[in-house]
Amino acid sequence: MKTILLLIIPVLFAIPSFAQKTALQHFNAGNQKFKSGKYSEAIKEYSEVLKQEPQHIVTITNRGIARDRLLDYRGAISDFTKALELDPKHIEAWTSRGLSKYNLQDYKGALIDFNTAVSIDQKQARTYNNRGLVRFALKDYRSAIIDYGRAITLQPDYAEAYYNRGAPRYTSGDVSGACEDWVKAEQLGLKEAAQYLKQFCDQNSTATNSVK
């Protein structure tokens, strides 16, 4: 079986208030650079903000996300850890650090971070989805399926959660359930699901056609 791609969606934060106008300008510029995929330039802008507002948690976290995008996972973790030292309940830093640890294949460390995030806020669909990625990597397929289900309950149009849930279902032998999830993901606009439907579900047209 071909390895199934698991999707993650990092989040960039909204614009906060600053004591100095120039810091806000650098922050806005950093966000624009990030959205344009210019992550190195975004990091420079966020670093300029931090020269003036060294304890600004949102900026520290944003810089960590940009570093993660550049595959500098250890640098990202350093930023997220600093943000958490300033605010231990900053859920975005917990979830973002969990993803960076996941990318480093530190699955046990990532699980701890996602568990903490869930303990702070049980209503974040993305947290359950991302914890599902970790549990799948740890071959805890039953728990991964449960987490994806929780994400879908909270956000019924969560295409990535359906797509990701297909992997542990398929691996556990629930081929029809996996195909139903991939059909739903495709219906919700996730084009990547089509290749798995073609590769793994040609023999399951009944399950495929039953999803509404």
What are the CA-CA distances from residue 112 to residues 85, 105, 151 (Å)? 16, 13, 18
How does pLDDT run across 94-110, given as a tens digit for each residue? 999 999 999 999 999 99
Comparing CA positions, the residue from 102, 101, 131 lying closest to residue 114 is: 131
How does pLDDT run across 45-80, given as a tens digit for each residue? 999 999 999 999 999 999 999 999 999 999 999 999
The answer to whether the CB of 2 falls within 8 A of the CB of 192 is: no
DSSP H helical segments within 138-201, as ranges?
141-154, 159-171, 175-187, 193-200
Pick from 52-61, 107-116, 196-205: least confident:
196-205
Phi-psi region of 78 (alpha: psi -120 to 50; beta: other; left: phi over 0): alpha
